[in-house]
Amino acid sequence: MSSKTEKLLSLLDGQPVIPVLKIDNVADAVPLARALARGGLRAIEITLRTPDALEAIRRAAGEVEEAIVGSGTILDARQFEQAEKAGSKFIVSPGVTRELLAAAGNSEVPLLPGAITPGEIMAAREAGLDFLKFFPAEQAGGVSFLKALASPFAGINFCPTGGVSAKNAMEYLSLPNVNCVGGSWVAPDNLIKAGNWAAIEALAREASGLRKS
């Protein structure tokens, strides 16, 4: 296991579900991070899918001490640097490129890159990465595909994201090569827009209770 993988796993601290968040209103960042942390999900991924995502990361990282804020949907070195400067403790990408690998190599912030095909997994492995995002999980073959990867890629572990929900999360978590899953069901758009932090905290508490079998 690489030192950066160890660092990332230490940050996640056995958390079974990583909330994948799309924050439209930057004012929601702090109360959302607090609600998720109260529910037991301290590590969160704020995606760069909205105009104010970097400011949302900056606020959550700066104001919510109990949260471990990561950035998602990082596509290139420039976004990696921006997310790092905003206070991200880890970086998540839907894929793996030489540019991203170079940016990660020059940073203390660990990268969780996406890899689906054997070639992508091998490229990440050559770069010293043995903990990868599997995205989009359901669309790419889901549990059966990950089972097939376990033997040829012994020592490579995954965080499946995309189509993962409360209904199928345990199917993924039961696999020996899955450390955690990423999902947006713990913070759905309607509850964020309504400011229903109590409901989000309850969903987070349910998700944090999911444990590998």
Question: Which among 84, 89, 133, 201 is annotated as catalytic?
Answer: 133
Question: Which among 45, 84, 89, 201 is annotated as catalytic?
Answer: 45
Is 55 designated active site?
A: no
Return the half-sphere exposure (C-beta side, CA atoms, 13 A cut-off) of residue 156: 30
Helices and strands per DSSP (H, E), number in the chain: 10, 8
Tell me if residue 160 falls in helix, strand or coil.
strand
**Which residues 6+ apart lie within 8 Å of 180 measured at CB?**
12, 15, 16, 17, 18, 159, 173
Q: Pick from 46, 19, 64, 15: which is nearest to 201 by CA?
A: 19
CA angle 105, 151, 100 (to 5 degrees): 20
Name the H helices within the chain.
3-12, 29-38, 53-63, 77-85, 98-105, 118-126, 142-150, 169-173, 189-194, 197-208
Is 45 designated active site?
A: yes
**Contact present, 105 and 80 (Cβ < 8 Å):** no
**Which residues are annotated as catalytic?**
45, 133
